[in-house]
Amino acid sequence: MKVLKFGGSSVANAVNIQKVAGIIKRGSEAQVIVVSALGGVTDQLIKAGTLAEKKDETYKEVLQELEKKHLDTARALLPVTHQSSCLSMVKQHFNELEEICNSVFYLEELSLRIKDRMISFGELLSSKIISAFMLSLGMEHEWIDSRKVIKTNSNFGFAAVNFSISNDLISYTITSSHKKLFLAPGFISSDDHGNTTTLGRGGSDYTAAIFAAAINASSLEIWTDVTGMMTADPRWVPNAKTIARTSYQEAMELSHFGAKVIYPPTIQPVMQKNIPTWVKNTFEPEEAGTVIESAGESSGEIITGISSISTIALLSLEGSGMVGIPGFSKRLFEALASEKINVILITQSSSEHSICVAVNTADADKAKTVVDNAFEIEINQGKVEPLKIEQGQSIIALVGDKMRSHTGIAGRMFSALGRNGVNIRAIAQGSSERNISAVISADDVKKAVNVLHEAFFETTYKQLNVFIVGAGNVGGKLLDQLKKQQSFLLDHLNLQVRITGIANSRNMLFVDNGNEIDLNNWKDALNNAQPMQLDAFVDTVIQKNLRNSVFVDITANELVANVYSRLLSKAVSVVACNKIAASSSYENYSHLKSLAKEFNALYLFETNVGAGLPVIGTLNDLRRSGDKVSKIQAVLSGTLNFVFNNYNGSKPFTEVVKQAQDEGYTEPDPRLDLGGTDVMRKIMILAREAGEKIEMEDITNNAFLPVSCFDGSVEDFYKEMGKQEAHFKALYDEAAAKNCKLKFVAQYENGKASVGLQHIPADSDFYHLYGKDNIVLFYTQRYPEQPLVVKGAGAGADVTASGVFADIIRVARV
């Protein structure tokens, strides 16, 4: 004989109930069918009762809607000839419900006893409608009133089953019947006085397990709306996979820590009788689902699943008076038990200074009163602090039988959480070593589940959530490159790069959680998106709280550079094309670097020097591997290179500069390039990355641009430059006379940095440097005479975008 339980969504409406009947019909052996209330009905019944208690007459509307739902379902299921008795049964039940609610309304009181009576109607109605439907299909069966066979104490709302009586009643009812098919309402039971009790929310699973154990069923099948127990809640983790097989113990841990697919007490009765329990999908009945049975060889995975409880409160009892004195924990737990407060997790520090327990949010105030009472004397003597309550917490648990025989699981768990800025408040590891659980902020729980799922199950790929500010020329190129590379990254680096937010100076675009921006039409979408507001953009990045988040700044805007610290403090990595932050005060630069370190994020700015060339990356690699930089020589301005490569006196200097500007090689104000400021910033960034504490004032600038050029607007500057043509020509001629070229060279040596024009002879590394190329020579302990050279295009939207791209990928690979 088998027991099958169909949950609320499986019996939510007529169409689903027809599917259920189909599944029952397939069974060849005798079966007991346990059903929940139609989906959502228990919640609505509670709502009606609570409204009535608050003297809110709208409870009547709630009841009316519920009545209609049941009548409609019965009408849709039954042929007209079979309808009348079922419809009058529904009406009669609702009359009774209304009378109960009216009394609650007048008395303004909803006791737990009356509440149980009210909510029992959900399962009574569903089972009776389904019974009528089965009869109309010729499926002969016996309807069992679960209240008559499952006896409990009078703990309304969460009654404890008296197994010795219930087992006998159930087995007698079934063995004394000649029927082979039975149907019973889940969730409901009764106490010694005949009052209706319930087994706790989600308790229909438990009803089915109680039946299964009482009759020694060959199997129990829990039919629900997902294909089995999964590696995580599929509503949160789209990649969650069905667990093919799991042990009773693992299933118990997973459900205890929040895997709602099975109500936790369900496992105990079937485990005692060793009854294999299946979790199957009513909507995909052919899928195998999960089998829960005694431990044996299990699948290869060390971790079976991840579960979480979203809303708990953390209670801490602390005080010096607790050290070494036995009985403190006993008193704490007795106090909690006296109020029937369920303790979900316990940790005690080895110093015995504090005990931390997690309880349901709703129990926290009650716990405070009862515990402070129990320790009143010690609190008054100052030996123990009043109970501390932290609301807004969650528990996340990693579960697996095989954890016992593997080391490093906790390390992997906590480093994955740490990398994503999830702060851990308390940790517990069951002595069975079957689970590791941690208390974290409720704001982080969804991210944490995904982080752990990625760390333990998704060996297939890692997800990066990218937010881009500055979707102009370089930003546009970056998005193009990302679009082209997406499938390559997935196939070759197992990396899913999702663009989750884009902004330009006008608008900002975000997509809902779980989605990504379609890179085929991001421009249109951005044009039609909400107006850009930097603070709101940053708030959204932080509030979305997605794993592996990267903020990409492709602006030259100081306000954007000012938000990095907020982001890094939330473990969001920053990739900056914007030079402002790295070339701001040393204090700010090093603050950002240390924030990144502290919060396990990355702050990368490779494109600040040499666009896409691997300059900073090379320097970092040299230092990380123990090398010491003694000197850097470089030509770092694509603009100046372009200008001096194209100027020989035949065309005025102004025109060459104008051309550079028109081709997009200069800053909006070309004086930043020509005056040397841009090169100063770059050599300063390199010196800082080489370990030097250096500021802009420390850099000598041997400027070649006459001072008069710095006055006025950009237009004035061009005019003045025209007047100074003789000066530029003289610079050129002087170099040419020595067969030299002019290059604007940056140098760092012995803690000093300088920039300025130099005459470059033909045998120099700098001589053959064309177009907008950059070159950097690193002289180090390992490269004392022949420097390590990085050379190539040092400006241009495409190469800059590819440098930013490389930084983004670097974030994923740490």
Catalytic machinery residues: 682
Distance, in Å, from the CA atom of 143 to the CA atom of 469, rounded to the nearest integer, reads 64
Nearer to Mg ion, 7 or 228 (CB): 7
- Exposure b/e, 167-185, CB count within 10 A at least 16 = b: bebbbebbeeeeeebbbbb
And the tokens for 269? 């009765």
Smallest distance from ligand ADP to CB 263, Å: 7
Nearer to ligand ASP, 186 or 321 (CB): 186
Subset of 23-52 contacting ligand ASP (CB under 6 A): 36-37, 42
Q: In 3-state terms, what secondary structure has residue 281?
A: strand
Of the candidate spans 199-207, 416-424, 583-591, 671-679, the one that interacts with ligand ASP by CB under 6 A turns out to be 199-207
State the number of binding residues for Mg ion (CB under 5 A): 2
Q: Which of 120, 166, 204, 290 binds ligand ASP (CB under 6 A)?
A: 204
Are 583 and 684 within 8 A, CB to CB?
yes
Of the candidate spans 172-180, 195-203, 229-237, 428-436, the one that interacts with ligand ASP by CB under 6 A turns out to be 195-203
Smallest distance from Mg ion to CB 7, Å: 5
Distance, in Å, from the CA atom of 103 to the CA atom of 107, rounded to the nearest integer, reads 6
Nearer to ligand ASP, 127 or 573 (CB): 127
Smallest distance from ligand ADP to CB 298, Å: 16
Residues in CB range of 624: below 8 A, 6 or more apart: none
Q: Where do contacts with ligand ADP occur on this chain (CB under 6 A)?
A: 7-10, 36, 202, 224-226, 229-230, 232-235, 254, 259-261, 305, 307
State the number of binding residues for ligand ASP (CB under 6 A): 13
Q: Which does 159 bind (CB under 5 to 8 A by kind): ligand ADP, ligand ASP, Mg ion, none?
A: none
Q: Which does 201 bind (CB under 5 to 8 A by kind): ligand ASP, Mg ion, ligand ADP, none?
A: ligand ASP
C-alpha torsion sign, points 60, 66, 69, 74: negative
Give the CB-nearest residue to ligand ASP. Answer: 204
790 scored as a contact of ligand ASP (CB under 6 A): no
β 305-318/388-399 pair status:
antiparallel
Please name every residue paired with 744 in a beta bridge, in sequence order, or none if there are none.
Answer: 757
Smallest distance from ligand ASP to CB 395, Å: 21
Subset of 98-137 contacting ligand ASP (CB under 6 A): 122
Distance, in Å, from the CA atom of 82 to the CA atom of 66, rounded to the nearest integer, reads 21
Smallest distance from ligand ADP to CB 39, Å: 7
Nearer to Mg ion, 202 or 612 (CB): 202
Are 557 and 578 within 8 A, CB to CB?
yes
Q: Which does 133 bind (CB under 5 to 8 A by kind): ligand ASP, ligand ADP, Mg ion, none?
A: none
Are 23 and 223 within 8 A, CB to CB?
yes
Nearer to ligand ASP, 122 or 612 (CB): 122
And the tokens for 424? 């851990």
Are 113 and 140 within 8 A, CB to CB?
no
And the tokens for 375? 């320790």
Closest CA to 646 of 586, 582, 709, 728: 728
Are 219 and 281 within 8 A, CB to CB?
no
Smallest distance from ligand ADP to CB 261, Å: 4
And the tokens for 265? 């007490």
Q: Which of 3, 8, 231, 609 binds ligand ASP (CB under 6 A)?
A: 8
Are 654 and 792 within 8 A, CB to CB?
no
Give the CB-nearest residue to ligand ADP. Answer: 7
Q: Which does 233 bind (CB under 5 to 8 A by kind): ligand ADP, ligand ASP, Mg ion, none?
A: ligand ADP
Nearer to ligand ADP, 259 or 313 (CB): 259
Q: In 3-state terms, what secondary structure has residue 181?
A: strand
Smallest distance from ligand ADP to CB 689, Å: 46
β 629-635/773-780 pair status:
antiparallel
Of the candidate spans 52-60, 201-209, 312-320, 740-748, the one that interacts with ligand ASP by CB under 6 A turns out to be 201-209
796 scored as a contact of ligand ASP (CB under 6 A): no
* 3-state class percentages of the chain: helix first, strand second, coil last, to nearest 5: 45, 20, 35
Q: Which does 385 bind (CB under 5 to 8 A by kind): ligand ASP, ligand ADP, Mg ion, none?
A: none
Distance, in Å, from the CA atom of 428 to the CA atom of 421, rounded to the nearest integer, reads 20
Q: Which does 186 bind (CB under 5 to 8 A by kind): Mg ion, ligand ASP, ligand ADP, none?
A: ligand ASP
Nearer to ligand ASP, 36 or 548 (CB): 36
The CB-side HSE value for 452 (13 A sphere, CA atoms) comes to 30
* Unique residue bearing structure tokens 């909510």: 119
Are 711 and 724 within 8 A, CB to CB?
no
Where would I find the beta strands (DSSP E) of 566-693?
Answer: 573-576, 603-604, 629-635
Subset of 193-212 contacting Mg ion (CB under 5 A): 202
Distance, in Å, from the CA atom of 287 to the CA atom of 280, rounded to the nearest integer, reads 7
Nearer to ligand ADP, 235 or 628 (CB): 235
Smallest distance from ligand ADP to CB 121, Å: 17
Q: Which does 259 bind (CB under 5 to 8 A by kind): Mg ion, ligand ADP, ligand ASP, none?
A: ligand ADP
Q: Which of 49, 185, 203, 228 binds ligand ASP (CB under 6 A)?
A: 203
Closest CA to 268 of 280, 256, 281: 256
383 scored as a contact of ligand ASP (CB under 6 A): no
* Unique residue bearing structure tokens 């038990």: 337
Smallest distance from ligand ASP to CB 161, Å: 15
And the tokens for 143? 């309807």
* Separate counts of helices (H) and strands (E) for the chain: 29, 29
187 scored as a contact of ligand ASP (CB under 6 A): yes
Smallest distance from ligand ADP to CB 260, Å: 4
Are 591 and 613 within 8 A, CB to CB?
no
Give the CB-nearest residue to Mg ion. Answer: 202
Taking each helix axis from N to C end, the angle separating 615-624 and 677-689, rounded to the nearest 10 degrees, works out to: 20
Smallest distance from Mg ion to CB 398, Å: 23
Nearer to ligand ASP, 157 or 792 (CB): 157
Nearer to ligand ADP, 9 or 780 (CB): 9
Q: Give residues in contact with Mg ion (CB under 5 A).
A: 7, 202
Q: Give residues in contact with ligand ASP (CB under 6 A).
A: 7-8, 36-37, 42, 122, 186-187, 201-205
